[in-house]
Structure formats: structure tokens, C-alpha cells
Chain A
Amino acid sequence: MEAALQVLVSGLLTGMGYALAAIGMTLILGIGRVLNLAHGGFFALGAYAAFQTTVWGLPAVVGAAPAAAAGVVLGAAVERAAVRPIRTYPLAAAIVLLGVAILAEEGFRLVWGSTYRSVPLRLPPLLIGQVVVSTEQIGGAAIAAVALGALALFLRSRPGLALRAAAADPEIATLSGIDVGRLQTATFGVACGMAAGAGAFLSPLLTVSPTMGRVPLIISIAMVVLGGAGRVWGTLIASLVIGLLSTAVAFYFAAAWSYIFTLLVIIGILVWRRDGALGRAER
């Protein structure tokens, strides 16, 4: 029973970790209408920033804010230079962002080398009843909750609705005097900042290396597409469900199969959901 409770808590916290990583992507996919294949690169940027902070003798948490800020600035720059000019070619934009991701990996390799780095876990774990939780995981979950909540509220607020309207119909928005280009740049920047912040917060629980962003990229794409592009609640629920399921499968069945199981669940949900134009028409 105690193990089951621990599995539940661990599963939920893992899910919150996925949600934290995916927030940026859901924003870009929903508003920017582009698949940010460089998302993993920004995540890794945050992790490396946290690592470098610890190299300078400071706690990793101190690096989170500067990491997020760097993410915002670099993200905005990437959007302005590499996405805005080809916004009408979403696939080309995705491919260009893939190029950015590769550049990022080689950049990390150049500065920090290819060997594995570790960010120390500084805070002692918490004991809640019979269940032990890693403080870093709780912290990450809390940050995820706050960020998701803030984003959800924002998207429902007047400026948020205006942003969504501008994204859905840029021609009309421009006619009403809104600088859609600037809005998109800002959104992209904020989303990349969130990815970097996520990387910084989750870094003590991961191993830092130049290609560390690849798996968070896959997971984020999965959570966002499952939850629905731009749907904050959807992303959260998808993340919690997958986090819980993969942990439970790993515990009760076999850990080696957890990733395959997760992939099969994703496939199953997608096939069942039938969200294509044809699928909807036939329902």
C-alpha cells in the first residue's frame, strides 16, 4: 500500500515535470502555429545555465531566472530572424528550427564539451507520511502549476484573447492596428524562456549533455499534441496521465517497457481521437 502511494506521488510529480517542459511548446504551437523543433535546445540551455551557476559556487536555483531571461531574448531573436520571414511556410519554419536545434547542440559541445555534467541536488527530501518526495521535484511541480495557471488565466484575459484572435486571423488584427509580428515574437520569446526555465528547474534530476534536449522535445511534442495545441489544461492532463501510467507500468510490470507502453498509449489516443477533418466529418 505504501509503495502504491509512493508510485502515485512519483507518477504525478513526473507528469508535472513533463508539463513544465511542455508549456513553452503549447504556447508556440497554439499561438505561433509552428512546431518548435528547437524547444529541446532551449530546455538544454536552461540546464547548462543552472550547471554553470553551480560551477561558480551558487545554488542551481539562482540560475533559473537568468536562464529564463536568456531564453526569452534568444527565443525572440530566433523568431525574428528565422521564423517570421517564413511564417507562411510552417514546415520550412519547423525545418529551420531543427537547424537551430543542431546549432545549439554544437554550441553546448563547444563550450562545455561532450562529457556528462551533473547539477547537485541541494535540498533534502521531504517525508510526507509514508511517502518520500524529492524537494526538487515538488519545486518543479509547483513552478509548473504556477506557470500553467498563469498562462491559462492570461489566455482567458482580454490581452490573451486579443493575442489568440491575432494569431487566428492576422489580416484582420493588422487592420485593427495590432502589430501581429511583434506579438508573435514576444510570444515565441516567452515560450522559449519557459522552456529554458524548465530546463533549469529540472536539471538536478537529469544529466546534462549537449544532446539532452532530444527526449524533452519528443515528450513535449507528445504532451502538446495529445492535449491539443494551445490548450493549457489539455497539456497538463495529458502530462499527468502519461506520467502516472508510465510510472505505474514500470513498477507493476517492467520498467524496460515503460517507454514503449507510453508510445502505444499515445498512438492509441491519437487513433481513437480522430481529429482530422475527415475524422470529424465522419463522426
Chain B
Amino acid sequence: MIRRRSFIEHVFALVAAASLLAVPTLSHGALSPIDIGAILPSTGPFAAGGEAALNALALAADEINADGGVLGHPIRLDSGDTEGRPEIARAEALRLIERDRVWAVIGGYLSEETLLVQEVAATERVLHIVPVAAAMEITDRIARDPQYRYSFRVAYNITQWAELLSDYLLDQHVHTYAFVGAAIQWNQELARDLADRLRDRGISELSRSSYSPTSPVIDPIVIALRTHPPDVVVVGDPGPDSIEFVKLARELGLGSEILSVGGALGDARVARTLPRGAYLTFQAAAWRGLTPQATRYWGAFQNRYHYLPVGYSDTLPHDALIVLAEAARAAHSIDRDRVATALAGGRFPGAAGTYAFDRSHQAMWGEGGLRGVVIAWENGEDHVIFPLRR
């Protein structure tokens, strides 16, 4: 009895020793994970955008990890909820950077959140990508102050939004348009920029109206538009009130084409519920079918989340992470300075096109870069209508 037990014990000991020897060789290939901080609103009135962005980031992280990670390091997402409040955004940025030691941060969502996240990232010298916020202040300070050299914006700024809208309107040989938006600063800026561009090109702005973002009263705007209907109504608000506007406009018989800046009206599930009537078009950063990467992204997103992306608040955060990973690969390093240099000087393909950054680290617009696209909803189906040739 004793002899057999000690023989078995010897066998066990041998097996144990062998496995101990094997373990170091197994872990030798795996590198430590890189944490990416995502600072976005998961609660509060802007949670819709935050949720879309987080969904897209998760998808991008999986794509990157399937491709070997960032120089072999797997990516992990670490998220913080801003609640739509800048002071919380700042605290979350501090948590992610100082405590969780993230390698880079992507965020915030709103301009006021982004400005504060950008400041924390600057003092801590952490890479920072702006996914969505459009305020000029964000990139102005990058050009002015070298401490912001780790901060880059993949999102459009207002100038670029206006350029796409005006290119489309000119292409469509429109004569008159009206601008409707929420009474928020960046909508006003967009309206002004658009009017400035089109004034000398023969397209006149018949009216410019804005509604309260909290408690919008939209009927009167539609009634006023109906008395002098323009060729196109440009809806500058990507939020939920734009949906109400379209419904009321169609109900009250406004026949003009409605061109939206996207967002809520870019969601296929919403579009299917809208009254059939005259043309509804919207702009987006990207759309399926335009590039292979976009088509892949659209398919992956639909498979995972069972709805189609809207082409902005989800696509751009996805690209933000992709571009970061690409830059690290280009730099052959995860050193922040090297990656920042690579970002500043390189060209990186994303779902929305190729990203190259100008002096204020704004992703550039134009042929071979980003262009944006206008899509039309017809009977709940999406059709890319501008530009027709890529």
C-alpha cells in the first residue's frame, strides 16, 4: 500500500514540476494589455450618443485585438460616465489616467466635457482623441499651446460640416433653403457658416429658425416654413427634436426636401417610422458600400448590436481607436511622444476614409481624405446620393 502511494505521489510531483516549467513558456508570448479610457455619457440626456460611441469602441477594440492588438498588446476598454457634466468628465479623466493608468483617452462627447478631458490629458501627457465634439476651441488651443500636442480630433469641425452641406446643395442646383436647428451655439455657427458659403453662389437662405433645446415648440416653425416653402430645409440638430420636426413637417404638409446633419435621423429604425412623403436626406461621415472597411464595419455592427450604425456618433469613435492603433504600429512603439509624432505626420485609413491631421491636429477634409456623404431615405431604404463617384 505504502509503496504504491508513494509511487503515485512521485508521479504527481513529476507532473506538477513539469507544469511549473511549462507555465513560463506559455506566458512568454503574451504582452501586458493596454488600457484605453473612454469618457462618455452613459446617463443623462446625451446617453444616446454615449451608448452609440461605446458600442462602436467595443467593436473597434475587438477588431484590433483580432489583428494582434497594438504591437502585440491586447487592448482593454475602461469607461467612465460623464453624466453630461464637465466636472464629472474631469474627475473620470483623472480616475482613468491617474488611477487606472490608461495609455490613451477617447472622449468626451459634448464639447464642454471634451475641453476638460483634453486639459487633464495634456497635464498628464496622455494621448487624447476627440471623437465627436465640434467646438473650435478644442483645436484652437492645440495650435496655440504646445502642451496639447497629444490631442487629436477625428471629428469634423463646423467648417467641414458646412462644406459638405453646401457642396451637396450646390450639386443639387437648389435655389432656396431654410435653416432650422436647436438654439445652441454650434447650430448657430453652422447656420452662419453655411449662409456665408452659399450667399455668393446664388443660393439664398429664406429663413433661419431655432427652437429651445429643452422644450421645443416646433409647430410654428413648420407653419412659417409652409407659407414660403424653400427647396430644402436644412435641419442642424442631430438630436431627438429633429425627429419631431420631420414628423410635424410631413403632417402639416411641408413638401420641401429635408436635409439633416444626421444623428437621430440617420438611424434606420427611426427612419422607418417617419411619414412617407417628400425626400429625407442626411449627412454622415461614412456609409456602407463606400469603402470596404466601412462595409465591414456596418456588417460587424449590425451583427453585434442588431441595428445599423448612423454613420457619425458611432463611426467616428470607432475610427478614433483604429487610428490610434495604426499610429502606434506606424511608430513601431507605444511611447506616447513617438505615437503623437506618427499621428501628426501620418495617414491612417478608417471606416470614414483616410485620416491626416493639420497643424491644429484636426482631421483634414478633401479628396483622398475624409469627405462625408449624403444619404437619402426612400421607403425606409438607404441610398447614397452624394457624392456619386468616389
B27 CB to nearest chain A CB (Å): 38
User: Is there contact, CB below 8 Å, between B48 and A209?
Assistant: yes
- Residues on the B chain within 8 Å of A258, using CB: 211-212, 215, 217, 220
Of A14, A109, A117, most buried by chain B (CB within 10 Å of CB) is: A117
User: Is there contact, CB below 8 Å, between B51 and A115?
Assistant: yes
Residue B50 CB within 8 A of the other chain: yes
User: Is there contact, CB below 8 Å, between A250 and B211?
Assistant: yes
Determine the interface band of chain B, counting residues with CB < 8 A from chain A: 35 or more
Known: A116-B270, A256-B210. 11 other contacts (CB 8 A): A10-B219, A106-B43, A113-B51, A120-B272, A125-B253, A207-B244, A250-B219, A251-B220, A255-B218, A256-B209, A258-B212
Of the stretches B133-141, B160-168, B221-229, B324-332, the one at the interface is: B221-229
What would be 27 A-B contacts, judged by CB atoms less than 8 Å apart?
Answer: A3-B223, A6-B226, A10-B220, A14-B219, A109-B47, A115-B51, A115-B52, A115-B267, A116-B48, A116-B239, A116-B240, A117-B270, A118-B270, A121-B250, A132-B253, A134-B248, A207-B241, A207-B244, A207-B264, A214-B45, A247-B217, A250-B211, A251-B223, A255-B218, A256-B210, A256-B211, A262-B215
A40 CB to nearest chain B CB (Å): 13
B residues contacting A by CB (< 8 A) are: 42-45, 47-48, 50-52, 183, 209-212, 214-221, 223-224, 226-227, 239-241, 243-244, 247-248, 250-253, 264, 267, 269-270, 272-275, 307
> Would A114 and B240 be within 8 Å (CB), given that A120-B273, A255-B217, A256-B183 are in contact?
no
B351 CB to nearest chain A CB (Å): 19
A119 to B270, CA, bound (A): 8
A52 CB to nearest chain B CB (Å): 13
A115 to B81, CA, bound (A): 16
User: Is there contact, CB below 8 Å, between A3 and B253?
Assistant: no
Residue A146 CB within 8 A of the other chain: no
Which of these, B210, B239, B251, contacts A255 with CB under 8 Å?
B210
User: Is there contact, CB below 8 Å, between B220 and A250?
Assistant: yes
User: Is there contact, CB below 8 Å, between A134 and B224?
Assistant: no
Residue A204 CB within 8 A of the other chain: yes
Q: Which 6 pairs from chain A and chain B are nearest by CB?
A: A207-B240, A251-B220, A256-B183, A120-B273, A114-B47, A259-B212
User: Is there contact, CB below 8 Å, between A259 and B215?
Assistant: yes
User: Is there contact, CB below 8 Å, between A114 and B42?
Assistant: yes
Residue A7 CB within 8 A of the other chain: yes
Residue A47 CB within 8 A of the other chain: no
